[in-house]
Structure 1
Amino acid sequence: MKSKIIKIGFLFFIGLLLFFLIRPLVSETPEKTKIVIFGLGKADSIYIESENETILIDAGLKSTKEELALKLKAVRVKRLDYLILTHPDKDHVGGASYILDGFEVGKLIQSNHFKDTKREARIQKVVDEKEIENVRLTEDLSFELGTLKVTIITPEENDYKGDNDHSLITLIEDGDLNYLFAGDAEEELLEETLKIDLPKIDLYKVAHHGRENPNSEKFIEKISPKLSVITNSKKDSEVEDLLEKQGSTVMYAFEKDIHLSSDGKEIEYK
């Protein structure tokens, strides 16, 4: 009996020793950046998480608002530190009021371009009721999100031919990697962005659902993306050939979500 007790005590001691030896290694392992580009048809909504800090870029259509909320809950989202609405088109802000109402949101960041619509009114109503900080950008904004550096690039002009060129463009630096989320940027906004000293891009959320404009080829050549995601169906994309010409792997978030993760050196996706 005595030897059995000694044996149990010895095993307990070894287990305790291993726990304290292994625990620092586990705690020092950095969490990977998580990116989910939701498949909501021809609409944008992108979730980014780093060290439990979170961003949602755009909120899809009103018709998919409940689906988006379920997708966010499926990836265990309880709070959004930032909700970025790139521009006020229905396929980018349609579900915004529902998300703002259903989740805790730290700060709402919007384009300075305002449209007097029921969608905008619904968003403002929830913002007022929940006293959410609401910023309409007139100049570029940079901040840290976990281990990421986020820069929101604003349009230079106050007036464009169409709403799309009022889009906010988001650049994210993640260790050695760079991600670019280009909203619905078209010819004029891409012309402005071509003048910026952008790095080569590892992940590119393709501008305007893969529609082509006179500056598409020059812009794709400039950023030379390794991985490109188009929020549209393959049959409706117009820039796949341009992207593949630059050696980019092209994926489509239309009927399915694209899940990506990164350690700051390499992107994994499924």
Structure 2
Amino acid sequence: MTSRPPSPSEPALDIRSLSLTYTLKSGPVHAVRGIDLSVPRGEILGFLGPNGAGKTTTLRMLTTLLRPTGGTARIAGHDLRAEPSAVRSRIGYVAQAGGLDPACGVREELVTQGRLHRMPKDQARRRADELAADLGLDGLMDRPTAALSGGQRRRVEIALGLVNHPQVLFLDEPTTGLDPGSRAELWDLVRRVRREQGTTVFLTTHYLDEADALADRVVIVDGGRVVAQGTPEALKRDHGRRPGASLQDAFLALTGRGPSHEPVAV
């Protein structure tokens, strides 16, 4: 397929019937059953679902870690299946488990990430300094990552995801295990990334208050399909079942389960 520059009006993500089926000895397993979704540039999207709903599989497909078995997607103007390298060069991905080398210093991690994106060494060093200033890492640059707090490590991991100036930043459960203060700092950081850089943010989380606070729009998946989407306020109003309902009330009404737990009586 011939690559073409994206139109300014083209969505950051344009997903059509995206699916993935595993073939096992016992038969096919339909992990994702046809996701249709359009994400405008500069949106913070909350992508939610209970365990086994297909959200992690969808995220791995969109970040080129799994190849879809059906459907199409264009990400940052490039075809997911035909141009995976072009997609990877235009996205950032911060995995739930992280990936810092405890023996490395923060500066070394950031410069190495720049070099992996084929930046000349001087450019990679300049980009590391820019990110340190933007993300409040100045005093941490010469520390080994093993000496950082959980919140500091998460900021470094997000900095790694931003090294290549991504058009789309994928964040997988970014605040899991953080204390409330560190969570609030990360929320502010995500808002700044969108506001100051125009980055589209695709966020998975099992904290419904996080999605409510951060997301412009929330998509809820279950059984490998989108079951509802809208602003947090619209979902609470339309599916919460009572005045003053929370996003969790709406989530439970739509799925019958908590975001990461067993079925819950509603």
TM bucket, shorter chain:
0.3 to 0.5
Of the two, which has the highest radius of gyration? 1
TM-score by length of 1: 0.33
TM-score by length of 2: 0.33
Structure with more relative contact order (C-alpha pairs < 8 Å, separation 6 or more): 2
